[in-house]
Amino acid sequence: MTEEYKAAKPIYMQIADKIIVSIVRRELTPGEKLPSVREMAVKSGVNPNTIQRTYSELERMEVVETKRGQGTFVTEQEELFQELKNKVQREIMDSFIDSMRQLGISEEKILDDLSSYIKGEGGKNS
């Protein structure tokens, strides 16, 4: 199963982002072993070197740790979970707000429409 990647961001970072989201969603739990570099490369449809770079970046970020001869594991640092969740949430909000501003929508209109949407009215007052 190969995945599609966007040209705007390096593939290894896109894969790292997907792993981080899986951790935030608790699909990957603290201490859980990640697939081997080779397995993840096949699953992601990329070169093993790309996955090695992904795992190295995640290790640098302290999201995972590699145990020699055993594999790569999700960190067990519980406080990191909340930091990751906040980071992902912030990135989503930044992207949303930037997109709305590019459309010329005011902050007041964004807040009103978002409030209505959350209350179940969808995009009815657009």
CA distance 10 to 96: 21
CATH number listed for the domain at residues 11-76:
1.10.10.10
Domain spans of the chain? Answer: 11-76, 79-121
Query: Tokens for 53?
Result: 């770079």
pLDDT at 92 over 60: yes
Query: Mean pLDDT over residues 23-42, rounded?
Result: 95
pLDDT digit string (tens) for 67-83?
Answer: 999 999 999 988 888 89
Handedness of CA 18, 29, 26, 80 (dihedral sign): negative
Other CB atoms within 10 Å distance of the CB of residue 74: 21
pLDDT at position 116 is 93
Other CB atoms within 10 Å distance of the CB of residue 71: 15
**Torsion region of 96: left, alpha or beta (phi above 0 gives left; psi -120 to 50 gives alpha):** alpha
**Torsion region of 45: left, alpha or beta (phi above 0 gives left; psi -120 to 50 gives alpha):** left
Looking at per-residue pLDDT, the higher value among 121 and 97 belongs to: 97
